[in-house]
Amino acid sequence: MDKLRERTLARRIVRTTGRNMKPFGYALTKPTFICREYPHLIAFFHFHKFTFGPQFRVHFGIRVLNSALPAPALNGPMSSAGAYREDEQSVRDCIQKLTEMLIRDGLPWVESWLAPEKLISDTASPLSEDDKASLSSALKEGPDSEHLSLSYALLGIKSPNQALQLFSG
């Protein structure tokens, strides 16, 4: 399959997988990111389309809203589920496989890390020491508005004022 067709199908697969995750509160916020906001955090699934062929690797991640890291932080597990061919059935199968993997593996992983105190104190936490400190600071003193804007921009979320409400409520 030619590269243009491969990329076109890849975009369709990610968009449809994003729509499939909508009942769980997730939305496609950038071409390769499906995200959901939580208090103090953004959970995300990042789709990396391999250049060598029609296949994806999916990263799970948790972004601390108050983080200063200039990258999303691919800090969770990853999976190479998601190969496809040009035929329609293969595309549908890929979408189904990715959706099932996110529901089966991604959602429980995210849910296991939603408690800020656990993210800060658990030795198995996916957060870096800097992100643990950023989360702790936000819990004690409130978030830094520049860090919030950075987090929202990195993940393509258009409602940065919502985070301020989460911290003040």
Q: What is the mean pLDDT of the chain?
A: 92
- Find how far residue 165's CA is from the centre of its chain: 21
Confidence of residue 80 (pLDDT cuts 50, 70, 90): confident
Tell me the average pLDDT across 162-167. Answer: 41
- What's the confidence (pLDDT) of residue 164? 41
- What's the confidence (pLDDT) of residue 165? 41
Predicted model pTM:
0.90
Q: Is 18 exposed, middle or buried (0-12, 13-18, 19+ CB in 10 A)?
A: buried
Pairwise CA distance, residues 153 & 29, whole Å: 10
Pairwise CA distance, residues 148 & 157, whole Å: 11
Inter-CA distances, 126 with 1, 21, 64, Å: 38, 22, 11
pLDDT at 38 over 60: yes
